[in-house]
Amino acid sequence: MNSNKYRIFYILKILIKYTDDTHFLSANNLIEKLKEEYGFKDINRKTIYSDIEAISEIISEIDTNSGYSINPVFSLSEIKIIEDMISDFKDLDDKRRHNLINKIRSFTSVYNQNLLDKIQTEYPSSTKNTLYLIDSILYAISCEETVIISFKDRKEEIIPYLLDYNNSHYYMYYSYGPDGKIYHIRLDRISSISMTTKKHNSKMRIDESRKIISESVESFNSRDIEEVKIEIIRNKEFIVNHMQDNFENVIINENTDITYAYIKVGISSVFFAKLTIYKNDIRIIAPLRVKAEYIEFLKSIINTV
């Protein structure tokens, strides 16, 4: 039998593990957990009331309105950001990375842990808006519900599938409209998000989203990374936003009358294919070899038509 002098400590561990903003435990629930997990016997509700009162003197976050609960040390979005930063830290091997993530997860409830497992993403902007966006998107993905995302000039009702953390930014993979095509967007491009509670019929298209991500990685890693200088001639606002959403390492220089984009990328057919969407609104300035390869790529497309 466990010593009663540790009972308050075990109650606190149970509250951290099994409660949060939406999950509560009654006195009877706490008695059951103490018996099941720590071998306590002969505990009554009066003892629980006394222990909770003692805990409340130290921790003000104890909620007793709907049962007993304790606010998590980290919110779901905060845990998600910490996990992604750990996952993206290349100097840790897989075992240490896994152990560290498990330690971080011990500071939130099992319900949040299960949610993180269900919607595990590929590997932050830390503004309040981004935290809210992450929370909302994770919830919508787990519940298979649509959301309405707002940009500065329009709103769209979309189906979110996956969050991807890459190069210090989050990207959301989603579909909208009758064609069902999957798009992706950097989270900081979204002004706001609204929950709809509408269920969607689409299956979780995580595998399809991961394929798109892997193609982007292939483009980046296809051969030695080069910096490509591109002049943006027309439709500058659209192209700048689109490049920042679709290329992981891009710098825009608008200090002169001419707008240049500097993209660090592995040169491949995937990269060239992405450039074709801009038609004749751009031109490659340097390196000249890459410009020549792009011209040959365009010629090969014309010859197959």
Q: Of 166, 161, 186, which Cα lies nearest the Cα of 122?
A: 166
Percentage of residues of the chain with pLDDT beyond 90: 15
Label the pairing between strands 69-70 and 62-63: antiparallel
State residue 253's pLDDT score. Answer: 87
Q: What's the pLDDT band for 213 if we cut at 50, 70, 90?
A: low
State residue 187's pLDDT score. Answer: 84
The yes-or-no verdict on residue 41 having pLDDT over 70 is yes
Average pLDDT, the chain: 80
CA distance 201 to 187: 24
State residue 258's pLDDT score. Answer: 87
Mean pLDDT over 186-211 rounds to 77
pLDDT in tens, 88-147: 765 567 788 888 888 888 888 888 888 777 655 443 334 457 778 888 888 888 888 899
Q: What's the pLDDT band for 245 if we cut at 50, 70, 90?
A: confident
